[in-house]
Amino acid sequence: MIIAVFPGQGSQTPGFLTPWLELDGARERLERYSDRAGVDLVAAGTEWDADQIRDTKVAQPLIVAASLLSWHQLTSGTDARAGGVAGHSVGEIAALVAAGVLSDDDGMRLVGLRGRAMADAAALEQSGMSAVVGGDATEVLARLQSLDLTPANHNGGGQIVAAGSLPALAELADEPVAGSRVIPLQVAGAFHTRYMVPAVDALREAASQLAPADPAVTVWTNADGSVVADGRSALDLLVSQVASPVRWDLCMAAFGEAGVTGVIELAPAGTLTGLVKRGLRGTPTVAVKTPDDLAAAVALLKGEAA
């Protein structure tokens, strides 16, 4: 089984959409997405600097739009289809669109609202996130607890993302667990923690007005790595996930148990394929960073990869 995965916040870089705009219909698609999300995604993806696209209300729709743009380019180039999908954090919205649970327009409206609601929640208290790479996992978790930090993302491959107050994150960086590195992330708040509870109600109200379909392919949830076969349940889990930890480690374990034979990460790609390489060693991967990577992704989908 070949699966498609969709990245989360922090994967964006200045100008990364520039090569995609050279494709037929790409600008028009992004302009439509911009209208639905309430963000100028063409300018954000080609002209704005790192600080501008770090803003939560910009970053989230920008990432999902890029994922969907690259997804449509990939699937229009072959009759082969991925057997399953999963998204990391906000990438779950792109995954649900790819699975047929949501339409493109509903997905972009929802991610626009999600970005604004989470930005508002983040503004209430100064907070952030840092990746802890390496070190004994038990010791890392104990250290986070002692600093009142939350393990917001269990990413697998020896990576846990800590979230909470900026002073506590600074203290973690100054005195890391032995054998670990602490890397501040380019996000504007402590996502997937209690800091995001104010955003959940707004998202729940918006989601209640949507009419999700049941997934056309296997969908794994960040909540616990399980498969979700009901569209409404998938959407409800996506909403609650805003204030709950991301268990990408459990998703990857589920990929292995399901016999996944290849993983394609859609734009802005690289982060999740890196985790797969460490967590599911030997599994073929393709990171679709630019249109030049589409041919390799099509080959993997069709079972033609070297």
Residues known to be catalytic: 89, 192
Tell me if 228 sits within 8 A of 215, measured CB to CB. Answer: yes
